[in-house]
Amino acid sequence: MSRLSSIIEKRRGDAELETLCLRRKQDIAAMLDHIGDVVQNFGEGEKLNWCHAGSLGRLWVLMTEATAFITGLETDEVKATLEDIHADQ
């Protein structure tokens, strides 16, 4: 492969990478919006029970882990931040 071909191939790879990252960001934002809507209406019109609490608890754990992953924080730091937010309310 010539040097020019190598440069062209790298640029094509960079463009594919940018497209993929943009697509992932858009997908994640759409999923977060949808989750927000679902959570807002979760259990609405129903008598709440421990299954509701369990489902929300499982989502809470997943969201705590996802937040820690994307921010580089430890899950305990994310939980402490949430506790601080509750204490301020």
Render pLDDT for 12-62 as a digit per residue (tens, 0 to 9): 778 888 898 999 999 999 999 999 999 999 999 999 999 999 999 999 999
Q: What is the largest CA-CA distance in the chain?
A: 69
User: Do 52 and 73 reside in the same domain of the chain?
Assistant: yes
End-to-end CA distance of the chain: 63
pLDDT tier at 7, thresholds 50, 70, 90: low
User: Do 36 and 58 reside in the same domain of the chain?
Assistant: no
User: Do 84 and 55 reside in the same domain of the chain?
Assistant: yes
Domain total in the chain = 2
pTM for this entry: 0.78
User: Do 52 and 79 reside in the same domain of the chain?
Assistant: yes
Range of the domain at 65: 48-89
- List, in order, residues 6 or more apart from 82 with CB less than 8 Å away: 64
User: Do 58 and 88 reside in the same domain of the chain?
Assistant: yes
Convert 17-49 into a string of H (helix), E (strand) and C (coil). Answer: HHHHHHHHHHHHHHHHHHHHHHHHHCCCCCCCC
pLDDT at 8: 61
User: Do 37 and 57 reside in the same domain of the chain?
Assistant: no
User: Do 34 and 59 reside in the same domain of the chain?
Assistant: no
What CA–CA distances, in Å, run from 16 to 23, 30, 71? 10, 21, 25
CA distance 5 to 16: 16
